[in-house]
Amino acid sequence: MSGPPQVPARRKPLPFRAIAGCYKKQIDHPTNPARNHPIHDEVEIIEYGAGRWIIGIALDGVSETKSQKRLVPIGRMLCWDFARFCKESQPEEMQAMVDWFRASTRKPELANQGATTISLIRFDKASGTVDGLNIGDSVPLMVVERLDSGIGGHRSHPRRGAVLAPLHSVSNEPSSVYKCWRHERPFEPDGFRLKLPKDFTAVWLITMSDGFGKITDKIAGQLIDHRRVERILAKRYPDFVRVFLPEVLAPLAPGVKRPKRGRVRYSAIRHNLPLKEAFTGYYQDCKDQAERQEMETVDLDTMHLATLVNSRAQPNRKLLERTVGEYLDEYHRTLGWLARAPFNPRVDDEGIEAHLRQYVLAELFAEAMVTYLSAHLEDEAPSGGTEAGQLSLTSRLRRFVDGLGQIGDDFCAAVIRVSGLR
């Protein structure tokens, strides 16, 4: 005689919630329509492991031929196959994904069909772990949102973005991904793994192609405060940045020699509080637009940065105020990433500056995107569930990306919003 029907045990809720969305936009070049082509980018959200893991992946593919008849959307092919691999194999370790991509780059049917960047970010709702891999110049980022009392007691949500892996985007050297695909070099992505920060209201995990850097100057000016870009560069690389010191303020820095161009190393004045206060007041009152512009911008010392890159194998070599090893260990991690990036010394040093600026621009662009999404996203109600939240997030992301207007490259982005259980 059979007993009463067995009621399946109720699954314990995972400690973190995540909603996600993705979207891609085709190139619509504002000044050169001849560059427009069928979209190469591919982006996807992949969930597996009974909802435990969620992945955002962005691929920026380039075909070997521009002939539309022979155009192979290599990123799309890889993305479909990878999603199937995740659902069938349920990989727990990131190394399994690296091995899968390594094997995929050797498939005979993909030979001579093109190349693609790969930027992947994964969240584990059980442990709160973020990990991923990156090869090329697509960007994995984290934007942390915290609750602050704000001014006058009003609540605010300060946001800070951070790129999570090196970008191989030095403009004077082909991306490492091409060497992997075209010249059969080993597939060697940069990996990352970290825990969620403390005291957050939401963490946004983003992966996107490099098309964000091809938006028009007008749109870029609306999204990014370029004065903040300059301030971040000065803070990150003080010995390698020169700032403009107005001649009238030079007496406030008696130990600093002011050259004819008026540019001095930021490290020489960054702790001079009286000078900083005077600088702010002088800038606000300055009527000379040319001088104001000089005060708003910084110069990167690309000559010494190139020396640093070429001296990474000599950590004890003295350079400016420190040794090469001290700079790589103690300065912002992007300086160490720069030292590992491909660089062609036969071409001028502008590629180094573009590389370091790319990190800052990506972070500020991601912050602007999250600000838009946060302001317009109604957090899913319990009755709506995760599906309703994901539909809302996808809709908001589409509006943001379409609002970028004409853009000089394909662009795609995947966004995962992480929060704790209420």
Where on the phi/psi map is residue 114: left (φ > 0), alpha (ψ -120 to 50), or beta? left
Q: What pLDDT score does 154 carry?
A: 47
For residue 21, what are the β-bridge partners?
415
Tell whether the model's pLDDT for residue 299 goes beyond 90: yes
Nearest to 171 by CA among 214, 142, 140, 208: 214
pLDDT in tens, 24-35: 988 888 888 877
In this structure, what is the dihedral angle of CA atoms 377, 378, 383, 389, given to the nearest 10 degrees? 0
Measured CA to CA, the distance from residue 215 to residue 31 in angstroms comes to: 12
pLDDT at 367: 95
What is the structure's pLDDT at 247?
A: 93
pLDDT higher than 70, residue 148: no
Q: Which of 108, 154, 115, 151 is CA-nearest to residue 135?
A: 115
Contacts (Cβ under 8 Å, ≥6 apart) of 272: 252, 253
Between residues 368 and 29, the one the model is more confident about: 368
Inter-residue contact 209 to 203 (CB < 8 Å): no
Cα 204 to Cα 3, 162, 269, 360, 387, distances in angstroms: 49, 11, 35, 17, 17
Q: Do residues 246 and 291 lie in contact, with contact meaning Cβ atoms separated by under 8 Å?
A: yes
Q: For residue 2, is pLDDT > 60?
A: no
Residue 111 has pLDDT above 60, yes or no: yes
Q: What is residue 49's DSSP assignment? A: T
Q: Which residues pair with 415 in a beta bridge?
A: 21, 206
pLDDT > 50? residue 406: yes
Q: What's the pLDDT band for 185 if we cut at 50, 70, 90?
A: low
Give, in order, the Cα–Cα distances in Å from 106 to each of 74, 214, 259: 13, 31, 56
Tens digit of each residue's pLDDT (9 = 90 or more) over 33-88:
877 777 788 999 999 999 999 999 999 877 655 555 555 577 888 888 999 999 99
Region 325-350: mean pLDDT is 79
Q: Are 75 and 115 a contacting pair, CB within 8 Å?
A: no
